[in-house]
Every structure is written in structure tokens, then in C-alpha cells.
């Protein structure tokens, strides 16, 4: 008859709800960590590739001398196999700075 008691059923439901809240939080953290791990592994491979190209460029042996040197600059072009740097941030000039500059210059 304890299963028919609404208070017992509510307490059991509340404890299960708390359990599933904690379980879902841990599961989301696990997924986020796995996603971050994949991203870091990809980034690690990229940096290993850049490091290998650099080390090949500064070392002298037959294999390196027979291929393109990544550190040799010809006509302002380098031969590193890397992505160009893209900046997302744009320069920002604050209004207070502009006003102060104009006041000092007498405009």
C-alpha cells in the first residue's frame, strides 16, 4: 500500500529527478570534453606539421635539400603549408578618445 501513498511516490520522483539532473549534467560535460579533445587533437596535428616543416627548413640533409625549403622566401612568398592568419577583431576607437583628441587639437 506504500505505492499508493502520494507522498512516497512524490519523494521517489523527486529523488529520481535530482539523479537525472546530475546524470544529464555529467553527460553534457562528457560530450563537451570529447568535442574539445577532438578539436585539440586536430590542432595538435596542425602544429606538429608546422613544426616538422620548420625543422626541415633549418636542418641540412639530402632529403631536405632535394625538396622545397619552407623557410626560403622568394618574391615575398613563403612555402609553409599553413592557413593564413585571419583576424576577427576590428580596430575600435572609443568615442571618449575621439572627443578628447578633437578638443586638444581645437577642432
Cell of 90: 576590428
3-class secondary-structure state, position 74 = strand
- pLDDT confidence bin for 14, thresholds 50/70/90: confident
Res 39: pLDDT:
93
Decide: 54 and 71 in contact? Cβ < 8 Å: yes
Cell of 28: 553534457
- pLDDT confidence bin for 4, thresholds 50/70/90: low
Question: Rounded to whole angstroms, what are the CA distances from 32 to 7, 27, 28?
Answer: 37, 9, 6
Res 73: pLDDT:
57
Q: What is the pLDDT of residues 28-70, one digit of tens each?
A: 999 999 999 999 999 999 999 888 877 877 776 676 666 666 5
What global pTM score does this model have? 0.47
Which has more confidence, 73 or 1? 73
Check pLDDT > 70 for residue 80: no
| Spatial separation of the C-alpha atoms in residues 26 and 32, rounded to whole Å | 10
Q: What is the pLDDT of residues 18-28, one digit of tens each?
A: 899 999 999 99
Residue whose C-alpha cell reads 537525472 in the numeric block: 20
| Spatial separation of the C-alpha atoms in residues 53 and 64, rounded to whole Å | 10
3-class secondary-structure state, position 36 = helix
Amino acid at each position: 500500500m506504500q505505492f499508493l501513498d502520494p507522498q512516497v511516490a512524490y519523494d521517489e520522483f523527486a529523488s529520481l529527478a535530482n539523479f537525472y539532473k546530475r546524470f544529464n549534467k555529467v553527460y553534457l560535460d562528457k560530450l563537451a570534453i570529447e568535442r574539445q579533445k577532438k578539436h585539440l587533437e586536430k590542432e595538435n596535428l596542425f602544429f606538429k606539421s608546422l613544426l616538422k616543416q620548420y625543422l626541415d627548413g633549418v636542418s641540412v640533409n639530402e632529403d631536405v635539400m632535394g625538396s622545397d625549403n619552407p623557410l626560403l622566401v622568394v618574391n615575398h612568398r613563403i612555402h609553409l603549408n599553413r592557413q593564413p592568419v585571419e583576424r576577427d577583431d576590428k580596430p575600435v576607437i572609443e568615442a571618449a578618445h575621439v572627443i578628447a583628441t578633437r578638443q586638444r587639437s581645437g577642432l
